[in-house]
Every structure is written in structure tokens, then in C-alpha cells.
Structure 1
Amino acid sequence: MDFLEAKKIMDAKLGDWKIMALASSVDDYPMVRNVSCLFYKDRIYFKTDRNFRKTQQLYANPRVAMCWNGVQVEGIARVAGLVVDEPGRTFETLYKKYLWQSYNAYSHVDTEILVEVEPKFVEIWDEDENRKAFQLFLDFDLHTVTRKQYDE
């Protein structure tokens, strides 16, 4: 399997949006919380309030891990400014489409910032047609994938 095939598996598992666990850490103080994520332009995007503790952690240490149902993403987070200032307003459009309740409740808040996560390393747990578990390890810098059989 090549990198693009493995990335297609990741994209299919994540779809257009998911609520993912986001882990961050500063000074050996880890935190984890759920964030509503959208996937486009080979990145993960979520919004948050610029005054929250997680935002302060991201400024101090942009290295994050995110997880949803067997897909773990390790990456670099970047605060991309206010949600409403994104060129083309892709996030706002997709957030309104997939996460209407949250969009309707918080879209008016002028402290809502957009966070972009660039995947660096992804681990995917999956099963083959015989229900034998395996892992895929995607290195986004090297564009390589390693498949490791778990069940024999």
C-alpha cells in the first residue's frame, strides 16, 4: 500500500467532520478535550475561544495529538486568526452545514478563532476482510506508510 492509498483510508474514516479528542501539553501538564473538527485542504480545522486555556497551551506548545475511533493524528497547530477572517470562509460555510447547532449558538462571538492542524504522523487501527486487525502508520513529511499486522 502506498501513502496516497493509506491517506484515502484516513479520509474515508474521518469524513467531512468529527468531534475529536484534542490533547495538548505545556510544562508537562497535559489536557484533553473534545473539539468539533472539519477536514479540508489536507488539514484539520476547529474553532475555539481565544481566551480559553487550550488556546494558551497551543500558543505555548503547538504540538498536539487528536483522536477519533482508531485514528490518531499527531500534528502542529496554528492559530489562523478569527473564523470570520478566513479567506473564502470555508470553515464558516462547512461548520454551518455540518454543525448547525454550534454554529447558531457561537458564530456571533468575536473571540472565536480558527485553529489549523497540520498532520505530521497518523496511526490508524483497521481490520481486513477476515476481521484481522492491523495498523497503518502514515508519515506526512516523508509521504510513507507502514502496515503492521496485529492479529495473525
Structure 2
Amino acid sequence: MNFTEAKQYLFDKLAPSKIMALASSVHDYVMVRNVSCLIYNDAIYFKTDKNFRKTKQLYENPQVALCCGGIQVEGRAEILGLVIDEPDRQFEKLYQKYLWGSYNAYSHEQDEILVKVTPSFVEIWDTDKKNQAFQIFIDFDKETVEYKPYDEKNSGLK
């Protein structure tokens, strides 16, 4: 599996939307909370209130991790401004389509900011068609991929 294939594998597993756990930290104070994410343009996007504690953390330290199922994404969060100010309002359209309940309940246009997380390193745990576990490590900065079968080396433990 090359970098392009691994990246496609990742985004296919996440798209179009996922509820993901977002971890952030400032001054060794770590917080984790769920965010409703949309996946497009090779990134992960979510919205949040500009006044929340997590937003203050993201401004101070943009290094984050997102986790969903067997996928952990380490990356950098970038606050893009108000959701309604995004060119062509792609996030808003996708949010309304895929996350209608949240869209309907939490759309406060004057306070909702758009956050883009650009992956830097990803770890995926998955199983193949024979239910054999494997890991994929994707380094976005170096554009490298490492595939590690897990069950083959542990088959004697069964």
C-alpha cells in the first residue's frame, strides 16, 4: 500500500461524517470531548462555539488528536472563522445533510466557528477479510506508510 492508497483508505473509512473524540492540551491539562466531524478536502472539519474552553485551548495549542473506532488521527487544528463565512458554505451544506439533528439543535450562526484538522500522523487498527488484525501507520509529513500484520506474529497465542 502506497501513501495515496493509504490516505484514500483512511478518508473512505471516515467519510462522510463521524462522531470523533477530540483530545487537546494546554499546559499539561488534557481534555477529551466528542465532536461531530465532516470529512472532505483531505481534512477533518468540525464546528464549535467560539466561547468554549476547547476553542481557547485550540488557539493556545493547535496540536490535537481525534479518535473514532480503530482510527487515531494526530494533527494540527486551524480555526477558519465563522462557519457562515466559509466560501461556498460547504461545511454548512454537508452538516445539514449528514448531521441534521445536531445542525438543527446547535446552529448559532454568530458564535459557531469552523475548525479544520489537517492530519500529520495516523494509526489505523483494522481486520482483513479473514478477520486478521493489522495496523496501518500513515505519516502525512513524510508521505510514508507502514503496514503491520498483527495476528500473524501472534498466531501461536490462539
Partner of 1:17: 17
Alpha-carbon distance between aligned partners in 2 of 1:108 and 1:127, rounded to the nearest angstrom: 40
Name the amino acid aligned to 1:151. Answer: D
Where does 1:122-141 land on structure 2 (aligned, <5 Å)? 122-141=122-141
CA offsets 1:69-119 (integer angstroms, 9 cap, x no match): 101000000110000000110000000101112112222341100000000
Q: Tell me which moved more, 108-117 or 23-32.
A: 108-117
Distance 1:142 1:23 in 2: 23
User: Unaligned 5+ residue runs, structure 1?
Assistant: none
What is the SS of the residue equivalent to 1:142?
Answer: coil
After the TM superposition, which residues 41-56 of structure 1 pair with which residues of structure 2 at under 5 Å, given as runs? 41-56=41-56
> Superposition pairs for residues 1-152 of structure 1, below 5 Å?
1-152=1-152
Output the CA distance in 2 between the equivalents of 1:6 and 1:127: 15
2:83–2:109 CA contact under 8 A, matched in 1: no
TM-score normalised by length of structure 2 = 0.93
Aligned residues: 152
Q: Give the drift of 1:128.
A: 1.9
Q: Given that residues 19 and 36 in structure 2 are in contact (C-alpha distance below 8 angstroms), is that contact kept between their aligned partners in structure 1? A: yes
Structure 2 unmatched ranges of 5 or more: 153-158
CA contact (8 A) 2:132 2:151 kept: yes
Structure 1 window deviating more from structure 2 (100-109 vs 56-65): it is 100-109
1 CA distance for matches of 2:84 and 2:91?
9
Q: Give the letter aligned to residue 74 of structure 1.
A: E
* Structure 1 residue ranges (4+ consecutive) displaced by more than 3 angstroms after TM superposition: none
Identity of aligned residues (%): 66
TM-score (norm 1): 0.97
